[in-house]
Amino acid sequence: MKQFHYIITDKAGIHARPAGVLVKKAKNFESSIEVRKDVRKADAKKLLELMGLGIRFNDEIIVEVSGTDEEAACDEIRRTLKEVL
């Protein structure tokens, strides 16, 4: 399992457009990808779960990736977060 922390820098937080981009990227990998905020978590491959976390500007999230392609998935999700959030 790999994980990393990320601080949301988009003033609008995670809203529909960046969440959709993130879900689309996550679905390209076999690994399980979870996004955690505080004690709540969501499958990064499910748009409504991800948006349901209510992640806002300056919130810290933890992304956990586990599976056969976790290294590549972790790198791609980190890169995507930097691009869209």
- The structural domains of the chain, ordered by start, are 2-84 (3.30.1340.10)
Instruction: Give the residue numbers marked as catalytic.
Output: 15
| pTM of the predicted model over 0.85 | yes
Give mean pLDDT in consecutive 10-residue pieces for the chain, a chain of 85 residues.
96 93 97 97 97 96 98 97 93
Q: Are 33 and 63 in contact (CB under 8 A)?
A: yes
| Pairing mode of beta strands 60-66, 2-7 | antiparallel
Within 8 A by CB and 6+ apart from 48, the residues are none
Tokens of 74: 């972790």
75 vs 16: CA distance, rounded Å: 22
